[in-house]
Amino acid sequence: MKQPPTRNFEDIVARLKASLNPIGEWTTMDTLSIKDRDYPLVKIVIGKGNSRRVLISGGIHGDEPAGVETICTFLENKLYTDFLENWEITLLPCINPSGFEAGTRHNQDDIDLNRKFKEDQVPREVAFVKEVLDRPYDLDLELHEDVDSSGYYLYQKDQTTDLSTLGRKILDRVESIHPLNLAEEIEEVPADRGLLSRLSEPEEMEWWPMALYAYTRGCSHVFTLETSPALPMDVRIKAHLLAIQTALKHVEEQNL
């Protein structure tokens, strides 16, 4: 019988807290009580009040741990330091903590949280994210993994064309450490060397992932970033970190 993964969300909370002092602002926006365990829904803000705003999130699918690990590593290695002059960085380290611990895509009620953003009556994890998206961000980076993919790819959705080359820049950098998915179509979307930018408009879709909700809330540039779990964890983390750093640097350099 397959053993469930032995991930412990308390370990993640401890790592995040240890890495923050004294730089970040920690907010527990809600706490899920499941069986006899408490799972905080956590928002971390670094560089509060800075003019550019980025939202970086992981773990909405519990069986995609690289996003959660990337955010821990980003904090532990103080990789935000280069960006603190300009950026207010908001981190949602793990949107689906019960799924993360169980190693399941869905939450404890067997719901795929990333299909629920068009609805008004939503699970508490989704309500938490919607509250965070109350103010739009310049950049939204959502960290995922795709077990069906042999390489890295990303979805890009922009309000304007001023950053339309950013997705390509991210992939060109990532390719140096993590192969790209070179299929001409990924998840039924036309793809150009890992770049999926010909996406449906919100009104055409029956359900919305978080990215589409972020877009409808006015986020300027929205990226869903996907690693391949066929690669070792440290490579997947490095790929996501490189994507984050490339995006922040590029927006700064273009002075957008």
82 HSE (CA, 13 A, CB side):
12
For residue 105, the SS3 value is coil
Please give the Cα distance from 43 to 47 (Å, whole number): 13
Query: Could you tell me which stretch among 2-10, 63-71, 94-102, 183-191 binds Zn ion (CB under 5 A)?
Result: 63-71
Min separation Cβ 148 and Zn ion, Å: 11
| 61 lies in the site for Zn ion, by CB under 5 A | yes
Q: Which amino acid is at 56?
A: I
Query: Could you tell me which stretch among 32-40, 76-84, 136-144, 182-190 binds Zn ion (CB under 5 A)?
Result: 136-144
Nearer to Zn ion, 42 or 143 (CB): 143
Nearer to Zn ion, 144 or 173 (CB): 144
How many C-beta atoms lie closer than 10 Å to residue 187's C-beta? 13
Min separation Cβ 67 and Zn ion, Å: 8
Closest CA to 46 of 12, 80, 73, 4: 80
Q: Which amino acid is at 248?
A: L
Query: Could you tell me which stretch among 26-34, 41-49, 144-152, 169-177 binds Zn ion (CB under 5 A)?
Result: 144-152
Looking at residue 232, the DSSP 8-state letter turns out to be -
Min separation Cβ 95 and Zn ion, Å: 10
Query: Could you tell me which stretch among 5-13, 141-149, 164-172, 182-190 binds Zn ion (CB under 5 A)?
Result: 141-149
Place of tokens 């939202």: 55
Nearer to Zn ion, 47 or 209 (CB): 209
| 144 lies in the site for Zn ion, by CB under 5 A | yes
Q: Give the C-alpha distances (Å, rounded to integers) separating 246 from 49, 58, 174, 252.
A: 22, 18, 9, 10
Nearer to Zn ion, 61 or 157 (CB): 61
Nearer to Zn ion, 5 or 86 (CB): 5
Question: What six digits make up the tokens of 24?
Answer: 């970040």
Q: Give the residues lining the site for Zn ion (CB under 5 A).
A: 61, 64, 144
